[in-house]
Structure 1
Amino acid sequence: MMRLGSVLMLGLLVALNASLAAAQEQVGDLDWRPQVAVPAYTADGPLIRVDQGHGSLQTIDGRYAGFAALMRADGYGVEAGRGRLDAPGALDGVAVLVIANAASPENGSRVSAFDEAEIEAMARWVALGGSLLLAVDHAPHGTAAEALGARFGVTMGKGYAFQSVRNDVTANLVFPRQALGDHPIIAGRGGGEGVQIVNTFTGQSLKGPDGSTVLLAMSDNAFEAPDLATLQAIRQRLRAGEDVDVVTAELARPALPAQGLAFPFGAGRVVVLGEAGMLTAQIVRFPDQPDREPYHFGLNTGGHDDQQFALNLMHWLSRLIP
């Protein structure tokens, strides 16, 4: 039985279309307004700090504005963190640290977005009771976060996870209930908070440490391409009628088991996602094609329970869910 659901065919991500790469603009959907019927906190909610000090474009007033809006609607405090994570007091008062798509330093001094001192500081903080949400997209983000993930026992695919569908590929993956793990993040607190279907929007695959729970299970026929150029080559060859087994054997590798993980780390908690866009609301515009409709992806699309999934994972990380 397949563990991953049917492929979302509501258009492949425009990132797969090389002809559009120079003529698109990806931005946060600032018009999206989350609806939370009963906020988890009515006052003085836990503080979420979103790291903006390591090259990420997922800022709380930009591409991660949707995430920030959702968490504020649920009663959390949300702020940006812009300094080093090993600085004295850097994580004081923080309930959940969020790192989404940190980037390698521009000076080329290393590929990791975080140096060893910062990685150890985060590991100590989590082990003493902190909570970390690490969302890491497709290449090159897995390389930038690889050392941090490894410190928590997580292996990253570092490429582009995809499935073949007829004579094409999709990186928009759908996880129905049978592909979702047995975990409080999936179950919620009752009262309709259970998650039945999750959609992701182009990411990588993951493997967790012993004792981790797979939240989003990849199927046996999911693959990972090392980079976008290879994914485009796979797509072109499948569209030309070549055999999928031959093409994937030559150009791809089997995906790692998961695209979402949850696990304890010392006295703390960690969630790692292989895709960051599912937690926010974004738009791709086409400046040189004014008549073309913008492409929406993330929480501003329908047909999935991604908003409830985002709320549940934050409830677990902030200890609202035991």
Structure 2
Amino acid sequence: MKRIACLVLLLSASLPCVAQQVADRDFAPAVSPPAFAEGKGPVVCLDEAHHNFHTLDGRFRPFGALLRRDGYVVAPNGAAFDETSLSACAALVIANAQPSDADWNTYPTPTPSAFAPAEIAAVRDWVQGGGRLLLIADHMPLAGAASNLAAAFDVEFTDGFAFAGVNDEAKAKPTLFRLDEGTLADHPILRGRHTGEAITQLRSFTGQAFRAPGAQPLMVLPAGFVSLHPAKAWAFDDATPRVDVGGWLQGAVKEVGAGRAAFFGEAAMFTAQVTGAEHRPMGMNAPGAEQNAQFVLNLLHWLTAAPEQASRRPE
């Protein structure tokens, strides 16, 4: 099996040709009606203290802009996680933390944690006491970098690449999750606060497969999916170990004490980017992902207990 060409890699949320992957600043879906008055919603902190691949002024700019149009206050978090830094946040979003800015191929195996043990304990205690966490970790090595934090919530991230199959054609196939096929699980997040917010299809872009006993599944990988585990990111060949992961997850949520937590194995689906000279859409702006933006809002509404608005729009 040959290494996948860059054209195929552009389907992924994180890739070696990252210079071609930038935020789509023109993506601005309507938010009607907003959940909160402008600037009056809960504070959502996006982690930027752990060499994150996604930041508010970078590839996750559309994520922050979407939440702000819904009334949330969105701010970067540049401090290590502890009781003080977390106290400023109603919800903490961690997207593709990394142990360092070094080239991925220089990382040791297994991938080191992006978070110190004290930070993991602080986040766990904060959620247990009522905090709200959205932990997003993509394919290798990003899943490995977040695996210790996920494990603190009994979630098993897998430091690999989730594909529909092992050949290049399967790897390039869009990953669609559909309610009518059972790959989207019924949940209040999928139903939304009224019928206009209901989600029937989502698209993700490669990512990882994970398991989460005791969590509520949202995105279930279809039968036939495999997780490839190369020694170095994107270096696949016929000897690359693989695991069948049909039925495993790419999205799940759970109640944790007085708090709530959400776990996702793919990041591009939460933002909007363009790649290459052709500005090919990837993320919320891509074909098949037309409902992703509403899903992001529904998820944050569930995490932060946004007010019901069914009365403001008829069923």
CA distance in 2, matches of 1:52, 1:105: 12
- What does residue 314 of structure 1 align with? 300
1:188-231 Cα offsets, whole Å, 9 max, x none, are 11131110000001100111132x11100112211011139686
- Out of 249, 253, 277, the position equivalent to 2:243 is 253
- What does residue 216 of structure 2 align with? 213
- Output the TM-score relative to the length of structure 2: 0.84
Would you say the 8 A contact 1:15–1:21 is kept in 2? Answer: no
- One-letter amino acid of the counterpart of residue 133, structure 1: L
1:75-98 Cα offsets, whole Å, 9 max, x none, are 100000001111x52122411100
CA distance in 1, matches of 2:79, 2:114: 13
Q: 1:183, CA displacement in angstroms?
A: 1.2
After superposition, the CA RMSD in angstroms is 2.6
CA distance in 2, matches of 1:115, 1:233: 31
- What does residue 155 of structure 2 align with? 154
- What does residue 256 of structure 2 align with? 265
CA distance in 1, matches of 2:17, 2:293: 31
**1:285 maps onto 2:276 in alignment:** yes
Change (3 A) 1:190 1:228: farther
- Out of 100, 111, 124, the position equivalent to 1:105 is 100
Alignment of 1:172-251 (within 5 A): 172-177=174-179, 178-210=182-214, 212-227=215-230, 233=236, 251=241
1:276-306 Cα offsets, whole Å, 9 max, x none, are 11010111124xxxxxx12210111233311
1:15-61 Cα offsets, whole Å, 9 max, x none, are 68xxx955952111122223112111114101100000000021111
- What does residue 240 of structure 1 align with? none
- Out of 266, 274, 277, the position equivalent to 2:265 is 274
- What does residue 290 of structure 1 align with? none
Would you say the 8 A contact 1:55–1:105 is kept in 2? Answer: yes
Change (3 A) 1:300 1:230: closer
In structure 2, stretches of 5+ residues that fail to align are: 1-6, 309-315
- One-letter amino acid of the counterpart of residue 173, structure 1: T
Aligned length in residues: 288
Q: 1:130, CA displacement in angstroms?
A: 0.5
Change (3 A) 1:228 1:194: farther
298-307 or 221-230: which moved more?
221-230
Change (3 A) 1:228 1:193: farther
CA distance in 2, matches of 1:138, 1:55: 16
Q: 1:105, CA displacement in angstroms?
A: 3.4
Would you say the 8 A contact 1:96–1:317 is kept in 2? Answer: yes
CA distance in 2, matches of 1:130, 1:74: 20
194-203 or 302-311: which moved more?
302-311
In structure 1, stretches of 5+ residues that fail to align are: 1-10, 238-246, 287-292
